[in-house]
Structure 1
């Protein structure tokens, strides 16, 4: 048996709801002969009478009533599928696997997800905090869709990396410390300071900054969690060098509230990039996440 024609099923449901073929034709914007043809083809396909045509009213046979009950469910399911396809095509539906470096603050990420929820409420993000090298490897393997990575990164194969944002690095100091307005490498090396671990781009960035001054000091503590480092600074355990993320036009990172935030001399920038596979450049859900990410880009 051939599959049911949903337009014909909809015609039968309209007859059941409105009582006559003429009323169904008017409601569906069909010619009366077309309505009669729909019912005749349904009856032929199913081998059963569906409608009893009276002089003034049309009534359903038991078989017709059964088809109407099931047909309502079929049409509802079809509408849901059409809506899902429409939303997916517009980037309003889908799951995007996003990797992010630990150096992105716990303030910036929620704001990013909030923007995405308002712009594309049907797109979900599965967030994974990874080292940049692991994120690049997972992109190449196809287990991530997008990644926020520390720059520079060597591009390989189908993985593309573009600049996303630049954030000034600052020294975070305990509230009670006496310090100059700008923190030099010599000053910081002479005080207790804490950093990310040696395997991270953040550590290498800070080490290169010290190296410009001919210094190679060792941090008192190594910890790859920005909020934990800030908490230790607030407790007076030492200074930390972290990015100052301008999360929006209203100001800087509120995670630094209560701490002394001092610019570095010479200045130092943390560079972040967006990495993705070139083969998925037209995926609507991924494009929606990229659009949300672009609202947080900085030069």
Structure 2
């Protein structure tokens, strides 16, 4: 039995005639009659008495009318609930944040997600850019912010959040700022920086290849704040993001001696094959709104 047949049955019962019911339902009179006949054949009982004054419910029809109305109410409620569900997001969004992820973009995303979609749980994991990328690729993370010094992988969908440069910095007075720099002399100094998997580590490797040097000593540090402190303390030279390097130079802590890399992108990324995921779509929309404000 079809829902439209139940609607026809209730309409005829309320209107008391095929003619009035057909007008209400925007159906032809033969169509209304066919619906009633099909119901009676399916149920095996008469629903109406046909009289000169119209359609009158039988005793059986009267008993079924209440059930029919309840069924139509339940059907309507189901559709209304489905509509509400479509407009409401639920679930868990697992986000990764690299060490240099700016707190304003991340904070804005988390705040707006909470306001618009209070039933979405966000699980935030911090890590290096490599850890964030691996998490996205192996499914342990849904999306994340990371630094990209080259070209993003073709399997990723990305949104550029911002860009920054990388500078080579030294303690004040330690390195002659003559042009050109003596790179062989720089190789004799301790270098402070993260592993080659980070943007600064990749920029350092590019410098080594470009100037055909290999430092005698490399101190691996995975926190830029620590790198800044060690450079300022005279431990060695190292790479800093442009904003950090410029601030430290203004404070007299370090000297910028060379540009290591002009552009590193900060990207929000997720697997391109998951672009239709509602949670990822919502997060992407919020970030784009902020970027184009």
User: Could you tell me how far 1:72 is from its partner in structure 2?
Assistant: 1.7
- The reply on whether 1:186 has 2:170 as its aligned counterpart is yes
Unaligned runs of 5+ in 1: 171-182, 234-240, 245-259
1:112–1:17 CA distance, 2 compared to 1 (3 A): farther
Partner-residue secondary structure (3-state), 2:156: strand
Find the aligned partners of 1:197 and 1:81 in 2 and give their Cα distance: 50
Deviation per residue, 1:216-269 (Å, 9 max, x gap): 8979x9769x9xx9xxx9xxxxxxx7786xxxxxxxxxxxxxxx8x99946776
Residue 166 (str. 1) matches residue 162 (str. 2) = yes
CA offset at residue 40 of structure 1? 2.1
Q: Pick one of 26, 30, 35 that aligns with 2:32.
A: 35
1:175 alignment partner in structure 2: none
Higher helix share: 2
**Paired residue for 2:149?**
152
Residue 27 of structure 2 aligns to a residue in which SS?
coil
Alpha-carbon displacement from aligned partner over 1:54-95 (angstroms, at most 9, x marks no partner)? 63564442123223212320232145436756x5xxxx7575
* TM-score relative to the length of structure 1: 0.55
Q: Residue 78 and residue 169 in structure 1: after superposition, are their counterparts in 2 closer, same or farther (change >3 A)?
A: same
Q: Deviations over 1:81-134 (max 9, x none)?
A: 36756x5xxxx757555433343244322323556689x869947443242333
**C-alpha RMSD of matched pairs (Å):** 5.3
Aligned to 1:108: 105
CA contact (8 A) 1:168 1:243 kept: yes
Structure 1 counterpart of 2:187: none
Deviations 1:5-62 (A, max 9, x none): 1222232344455555444322221122222222222232233444555635644421
Structure 1 window deviating more from structure 2 (285-294 vs 70-79): it is 285-294
CA contact 2:132–2:144 (8 Å) conserved in 1: yes
Q: 1:94 to 1:56 in 2, by over 3 A?
A: same
Q: What is the aligned length?
A: 247
Distance 1:22 1:164 in 2: 63
1:189 and 1:41 mapped to 2: Cα distance?
Answer: 97
Partner residue in 2 for 1:180: none
Provide, for residues 183-234 of structure 1, a one-character-per-residue CA deviation record: whole Å limited to 9, x for no partner. 99335899xxxx99869837748978x999x998979x9769x9xx9xxx9x
C-alpha contact 2:162 2:267 (8 A) present in aligned 1: no
Whole-angstrom CA distance in 2 between matches of 1:169 and 1:283: 33
Shift in alpha-carbon separation, 1:77–1:102, aligned structure 2, 3 A: farther
CA contact (8 A) 1:50 1:64 kept: no
Q: Which has the higher contact order (CA 8 A, sep 6+)?
A: 1
Query: Which has more radius of gyration?
Result: 2
Normalising by structure 2, report the TM-score. Answer: 0.56
Mapped partners of 2:193, 2:43: distance in 1 = 71
